[in-house]
Amino acid sequence: FNASDFLLLEEADAFIAINDESPHLEYAFLGDNGKWPVMIAKDISSNEKTNLINVLKTRKKAIAWKLTDIKGIDPEFCSHKILLEENYSPKVQSQRRVNPKIYDVIKKEVEKLLDVGLIYPISDSPWVSPIHCVPKKGGMTVIKNDENELVLTRLVIGWRVCIDYRKLNEATRKDHFPLPFMDQMLERLAGNAYYCFLDGFSGYFQILIDPNDQEKTMFTCPYGTFSYKRMSFGLCNAPETFQRCMMAIFHDMMEKTMEDTKLTLNWEKSHFMVKEGIVLGHKISKKGIKVDKEKIEVISKLPHPKTVKGIRSFLGHAGFYRRFIKDFSKISRPMTHLLEKNSPFIFSNECIQAFQTLKDKLIEAPILIAPNWDQPFELMCDASDYAVGAILGQRIEKHFRPIHYASKTMNQAEANYTTTEKEMLAVVYVFKKFRSYLIMNKNIVYTDHSALKYLFAKKDAKARLLR
């Protein structure tokens, strides 16, 4: 993998997660009597299991089983700084009222963080932020509402204690360290025979906040005022700090480098020598990139939307996988038309058909391959009355395999183009869309409009076509 493949999202299990009930995983133990469990692949040979466990035993210091096991990354290697913009005065916010039923949740969280030394009591600071509790939500599901209608919702599995750092974030100088693009990261990961998924144990809490900036994280709650010693969720530059740290640690790969920097892994979410896994809502394997079937099953059970908000929600969920769906924009056009200003909400039979077609396309979504940068790319372009579409792919053993589907609806001016102009628009669109793939590579373009090939020799064509 490249260094930029190590990305932290604010939810660690959103980055890498494999279903604990997955049949290709099993427990192994690095100690006697069921001590120090780890998750490994079930379908590797006995000799491979023995060798893998022996390697993990020699690197136990890089794995954590509880919060007290994390030592924190060496601050000389990486720390989080909170640098403020000029002309911003400190903000002291008062405590917010909290439902008495939530007191116990806050108390347990504060005691837990105090016990492991992640926060400390502080009496005064020019910056004070309030505490806030939000529902901790699990996976998506479909339930019936009061009107006996099926609706998409998230299960609430508990409460999460957060700090409202919005005032502090407004005054913080922004860190512009780049985060990797999701599609490029998936393509780099796909196509390998084996994977080791490594999940940092409470990743943010492993990075020390610069001692000069710790007082800026002060928060107030019913049990006093405290500041963080380690990086907290909600700080605006936290993802960039973690990404910079991961790239510095893994630029020359793993093993001893994790022990040297004291980065520790979550034993339960780290899986070794598996052949597939879920990354950012996609399943990657040697075959390529697939949709996450669990997410698709939830979407497939949805009834058609009855409000504009419902349409936005459905298109948001389905659009997450639009690279798998040919002519997504063309298919969804009847529904997106209802989102336009002053458009009456009438969910017609055409909309119902579009809704069902998108669900069917998601269920039957193809496996997308990772690009081979030593082979030419092939692009197939097409245009309809109000949309253009394209497929980027490559040949594997003489068979065309898709890498990425793309489409877009035309604006009002483009919809008035002639047929030849629309077909050329499709070609221009695909080259803009897939520019990062096509530069410095041989490319072959296919179109069903043969008149386009004469444009290169026709000097008196319309200026719009020549452009």
Express each pLDDT in 159-191 by its tens digit: 889 999 999 999 999 999 888 888 888 998 898
Length of the chain: 467
Angle, CA 289 vertex, CA 390 and CA 381 arms, to 5°: 5
pLDDT in tens, 98-149: 888 888 999 999 999 999 999 999 988 999 999 988 887 766 676 777 667 6
Neighbours of 212 (CB within 10 A): 9
- Asked whether this chain's domains 291-364 and 377-457 adopt the same fold, the reply is no
Task: At 400, give phi and psi (nearest 5°).
Answer: -75, 130
> Residue 95: is its pLDDT beyond 70?
yes
The mean-pLDDT minimum among 82-91, 132-141, 224-233 falls in: 132-141
Class of domain 291-364: alpha beta
Distances (CA, A) of 464 to 244, 410, 421, 425, 455: 45, 16, 8, 10, 11
Note the pLDDT of residue 457: 57
Q: Are 115 and 226 in contact (CB under 8 A)?
A: no
Band (5; pLDDT cuts 50, 70, 90): very low
Q: If you average pLDDT over residues 146-162, what whole number do you get?
A: 74
What are the sequence ranges of the domains in the chain?
A: 291-364, 377-457
Amino acid at 278: I
Q: Are 271 and 39 in contact (CB under 8 A)?
A: yes
Q: Mean pLDDT of all residues in the chain? A: 84
Q: Does domain 377-457 have CATH number 3.40.50.300?
A: no
Angle, CA 38 vertex, CA 3 and CA 271 arms, to 5°: 40
pTM: 0.73
